[in-house]
Amino acid sequence: MASFSPLIADDLAVNTIRTLAADVVGKANSGHPGAPMGMAPAAHVLFTRFFNANPKNSKWFNRDRFVLSNGCALQYILLHLLGYKLTMDDLKQFRQIGSKTPGHPEAGHTDGIEVTTGPLGQGISSAVGLAIAQAHFAAVYNKEGFDLINNYTYVFTGDGCLMEGVSSEAASLAGHLKLGNLIVVYDDNHISIDGDTAAAFTENVEARFLAYGWQVLHVDDGDHDLAGIHNAIAEARKEKEKPTIIRLRTTIGYGSKLEGTHGVHGAPLKADDIASLKTKFNFPADKTFYVPDETYKIYSDVVVRGADLEAKWNDLLAAYGRKYPNEHAELTRRISGELPAGWESFLPVYTPADPAQASRKLSEIVLAAVYPKIPDLIGGSADLTGSNLTRVKGHKDFQHPSTGLGDYSGTYIRYGVREHAMGAIANGLAAYGGIVPYIGTFLNFVSYAAGAVRLSALSGHQVIWVATHDSIGLGEDGPTHQPVETLAHFRATPNIDVWRPADGNETSAAYLVALRSKTTPSILSLSRQNLPNLEGSTIEKASKGGYVVHEEEGEDLTIVSCGSEVSIVLEAASKLKAEGIKTRVVSLPSWSVFDRQEESYKLSVLRSGAPILSVEALSTLGWQKYSHEQYGLKAWGSSGPYQKVYEHFGITGSNLAVVGKKIVDFYKKKGIPVVSPLDKAIHL
Q: How many residues bind a second copy (CB under 8 A)?
A: 134
Q: Does 360 bind a second copy (CB under 8 A)?
A: no
419 annotated active-site = yes
How many Cα atoms are found within 13 Å in the side-chain-facing hemisphere of 79? Answer: 27
Q: Does 609 bind a second copy (CB under 8 A)?
A: no
Q: Does 393 bind a second copy (CB under 8 A)?
A: no
Nearest distance from C-beta of residue 429 to a second copy, angstroms? 16
Q: Does 242 bind a second copy (CB under 8 A)?
A: no
Alpha-carbon span 657 to 258, nearest angstrom: 70
CA distances from 235 to 51, 200, 535 (A): 15, 31, 64
Q: Which CB sits closer to a second copy, 230 or 491?
A: 491
The residues in 112-151 that bind a second copy, with binding defined as CB under 8 A, are 116-121
Nearest distance from C-beta of residue 463 to a second copy, angstroms? 16
Q: Which of 274, 254, 111 is CA-nearest to residue 190?
A: 254
Alpha-carbon span 74 to 24, nearest angstrom: 10
3-state secondary structure at position 43: helix
Part in contact with a second copy (CB under 8 A); list of ranges 91-99, 228-236, 530-538, 574-582: 91-99
Q: Are 182 and 237 in contact (CB under 8 A)?
A: no
The residues in 405-424 that bind a second copy, with binding defined as CB under 8 A, are 405, 414-421
Other Cβ atoms within 10 Å of 368 Cβ, number:
17
DSSP code per residue over 606-657:
S-TTS-EEEEEEEE-TTGGGT-SEEEEESS----S-HHHHHHHTT-SHHHHH
Q: Does 95 bind a second copy (CB under 8 A)?
A: yes
Q: Which CB sits closer to a second copy, 323 or 662?
A: 662
DSSP code per residue over 315-374:
HHHHHHHHH-HHHHHHHHHHHHTPPPTTGGGGS----TTSPPEEHHHHHHHHHHHHTTT-
Q: Does 493 bind a second copy (CB under 8 A)?
A: yes
Q: Which long-range contacts (CB under 8 A, 24 or more apart) does 337-346 make?
A: 337/433, 337/434, 337/518, 339/374, 339/376, 339/436, 339/515, 339/516, 340/373, 340/374, 342/373, 343/370, 343/373, 343/374, 343/515, 344/512, 346/370, 346/373
Q: Which CB sits closer to a second copy, 95 or 249?
A: 95
Q: Which CB sits closer to a second copy, 172 or 567?
A: 172
The residues in 70-89 that bind a second copy, with binding defined as CB under 8 A, are 71
Q: Which of 355, 386, 554, 580 binds a second copy (CB under 8 A)?
A: 386
Q: Does 536 bind a second copy (CB under 8 A)?
A: no
Nearest distance from C-beta of residue 150 to a second copy, angstroms? 25
Give the N- to C-terminal CA distance of the chain in Å, as an integer: 57
Q: Are 507 and 526 in contact (CB under 8 A)?
A: yes
Q: Which CB sits closer to a second copy, 63 or 528?
A: 528
Nearest distance from C-beta of residue 451 to a second copy, angstroms? 5
Nearest distance from C-beta of residue 278 to a second copy, angstroms? 24
Q: Which CB sits closer to a second copy, 323 or 680?
A: 680
DSSP code per residue over 548-582:
EEE--TT-SEEEEE-GGGHHHHHHHHHHHHHTT--
The residues in 9-68 that bind a second copy, with binding defined as CB under 8 A, are 28, 30-31
Nearest distance from C-beta of residue 404 to a second copy, angstroms? 9
Nearest distance from C-beta of residue 352 to a second copy, angstroms? 30
3-state secondary structure at position 20: helix
Part in contact with a second copy (CB under 8 A); list of ranges 196-204, 248-256, 274-282, 580-588: 196-204
Residue span 459-488 as binding mask against a second copy, x where in contact by CB under 8 A, dash where not: ----------------xxxxxxx--xx--x
Alpha-carbon span 135 to 378, nearest angstrom: 13
Alpha-carbon span 157 to 121, nearest angstrom: 8
Q: Does 628 bind a second copy (CB under 8 A)?
A: yes
Q: Which of 640, 652, 653, 655 binds a second copy (CB under 8 A)?
A: 640
Which of 114, 164, 419, 506 is catalytic? The answer is: 419
Instruction: Provide the β-strand partners of residue 438.
Output: 464
Alpha helices in 29-141 (DSSP H): 34-45, 73-82, 88-92, 122-141
Q: Which of 4, 50, 146, 201 binds a second copy (CB under 8 A)?
A: 201
Please enumerate in sequence order all residues whose Cβ is within 8 A of that of 167, keeping only pairs 6 or more positions apart, or say none: 69, 121, 124, 125, 157, 161, 421
Q: Which CB sits closer to a second copy, 1 or 211?
A: 211
Q: Which CB sits closer to a second copy, 82 or 177?
A: 177
Part in contact with a second copy (CB under 8 A); list of ranges 51-59, 172-180, 242-250, 280-288: 172-180
Q: Does 619 bind a second copy (CB under 8 A)?
A: yes
Nearest distance from C-beta of residue 650 to a second copy, angstroms? 10
Q: Which of 450, 517, 582, 652 binds a second copy (CB under 8 A)?
A: 450
Q: Which CB sits closer to a second copy, 199 or 353?
A: 199
Nearest distance from C-beta of residue 227 to a second copy, angstroms? 29
Q: Are 356 and 531 in contact (CB under 8 A)?
A: yes
Q: Which element (helix H / strand E) includes 660?
A: helix 653-670
Q: CA torsion 232→38→263→67, rounded to 10°? A: -80
DSSP code per residue over 229-295:
HHHHHHHHHH--SS-EEEEEE--TTTTSTTTTSGGGTSSPPPHHHHHHHHHHTT--TT-SS---HHH
Nearest distance from C-beta of residue 592 to a second copy, angstroms? 11
Q: Which CB sits closer to a second copy, 81 or 421?
A: 421
Nearest distance from C-beta of residue 446 to a second copy, angstroms? 9
The residues in 262-281 that bind a second copy, with binding defined as CB under 8 A, are none
Part in contact with a second copy (CB under 8 A); list of ranges 48-56, 78-86, 169-177, 281-289: 169-177
Q: Are 541 and 551 in contact (CB under 8 A)?
A: no
The residues in 641-680 that bind a second copy, with binding defined as CB under 8 A, are 641, 644-645, 648, 659, 662-663, 665-667, 670, 672-673, 675, 677, 680
Q: Which of 3, 98, 353, 600 binds a second copy (CB under 8 A)?
A: 98
Q: Does 203 bind a second copy (CB under 8 A)?
A: yes
Q: Which of 399, 456, 537, 676 binds a second copy (CB under 8 A)?
A: 399
Q: Does 198 bind a second copy (CB under 8 A)?
A: yes
3-state secondary structure at position 140: helix
Q: Is 540 exposed, middle or buried (0-12, 13-18, 19+ CB in 10 A)?
A: exposed
Catalytic (active-site) positions: 419
